[in-house]
Chain A
Amino acid sequence: MTQSVKGSPITNVFKIAGRETINQLDYVGSLNIQLWATLRGMRAALPLVGNRHRWKAAVHQMLEIGVDALPMVALLAMCSGFILALQGASELRRFGALHYVIDLVAVAFTRELGPLLTAIAVSGRSGSAFAAEIGTMKVTEEIDALKVMAFEPVEFVLAPKFLAALVAVPCLSIVSNVFGILAGGLFMFFSTHLGLQVYFRAVLTSIHLQDLIAGLIKAVAFATIVAHVGCLEGLRVRGGPEAVGRSTTMAVVRSTFLVIVADAIFTTIFYFVGKT
Chain B
Amino acid sequence: MSMISVRDLVVEYDGRRVLDGLNLDIEPGQITVLLGGSGSGKSTLLRQILALENPKSGSISIKGTDIMRCSPGDLKKVRRSIGVAFQSAALFNSLSLEDNVALTLREHTALAPTIIDLIVWMKLAVVGLADFGKLHPQELSGGMKKRAAVARALALDPQILVLDEPSAGLDPIVAAELDELILFLKEAFQITALVVTHELPSAFRIADRIAMLFNGKLLAIGTKDEIRANQNPRVRQFLNRVPDNPVHMPAFASYLERYVQSQEAKP
Contact = CB atoms under 8 A, between A and B. Distances in A.
Contacts of A150: 76, 79-80, 104, 108
Contacts, number: 42
A150 B158 CA distance: 13
A150 B81 CA distance: 10
Q: Which 5 A-B pairs have the closest CB atoms?
A: A141-B90, A145-B90, A150-B79, A150-B76, A148-B84
B54 to A, nearest CB: 13
A148 B79 contact: yes
A148 B85 CA distance: 10
B107 A53 contact: yes
Interface string B53-86: 0000000000000000000000010011010101
B103 interface: yes
Contacts of A142: 90-93
Given A144-B52, A150-B80, 18 more contacts: A51-B107, A53-B106, A140-B88, A140-B90, A140-B93, A141-B86, A141-B87, A141-B90, A142-B92, A144-B50, A144-B90, A145-B84, A145-B90, A147-B79, A149-B84, A150-B79, A150-B104, A151-B107
Interface string A113-142: 000000000000000000000000000111
Contacts of A145: 84, 86, 90, 92
Interface residues on B, range: 20 to 34
Given A140-B90, A141-B90, A142-B90, A147 B107 contact: no
Interface of A: 51, 53, 140-142, 144-145, 147-151
Nearest to A54: B107
Give the one of B79, B90, B107 with max A CB within 10 A: B90
17 contacts: A53-B106, A53-B107, A140-B90, A141-B87, A141-B88, A142-B92, A142-B93, A144-B50, A144-B90, A145-B84, A145-B90, A145-B92, A147-B50, A147-B79, A148-B82, A149-B104, A150-B80
Contacts of B90: 140-142, 144-145
A148 B91 CA distance: 13
A147 B52 contact: yes
Interface of B: 47, 50-52, 76, 79-80, 82, 84, 86-88, 90-93, 103-104, 106-108
A53 B52 CA distance: 25
Contacts of A151: 107
A53 B103 CA distance: 10
A144 B92 CA distance: 11
Contacts of A51: 107
Contact of A148 (B52, B87, B107, B108): B52
Nearest to B78: A150
Give the one of A53, A141, A142, A150 with max B CB within 10 A: A150
A77 to B, nearest CB: 31
B52 A149 contact: no
Nearest to B94: A133
Contacts of B107: 51, 53, 151
Contacts of A140: 88, 90, 93
Contacts of A149: 79, 84, 103-104
A142 B91 CA distance: 7
B16 to A, nearest CB: 16
A239 to B, nearest CB: 14
B178 to A, nearest CB: 18
Nearest to A151: B107
A140 B94 CA distance: 13
B43 to A, nearest CB: 11
Nearest to B81: A150
Contacts of B93: 140, 142
A266 to B, nearest CB: 35
A142 B93 CA distance: 9
Contacts of B92: 142, 145
B103 A148 contact: no
A151 B51 CA distance: 13
Contacts of A53: 106-107
Contacts of B86: 141, 144-145
A198 to B, nearest CB: 50
Contacts of B52: 144, 147-148
A241 B80 CA distance: 30
A112 B83 CA distance: 51
Contacts of B103: 149
A144 to B, nearest CB: 6
A135 to B, nearest CB: 13
A151 B86 CA distance: 16
A59 to B, nearest CB: 15
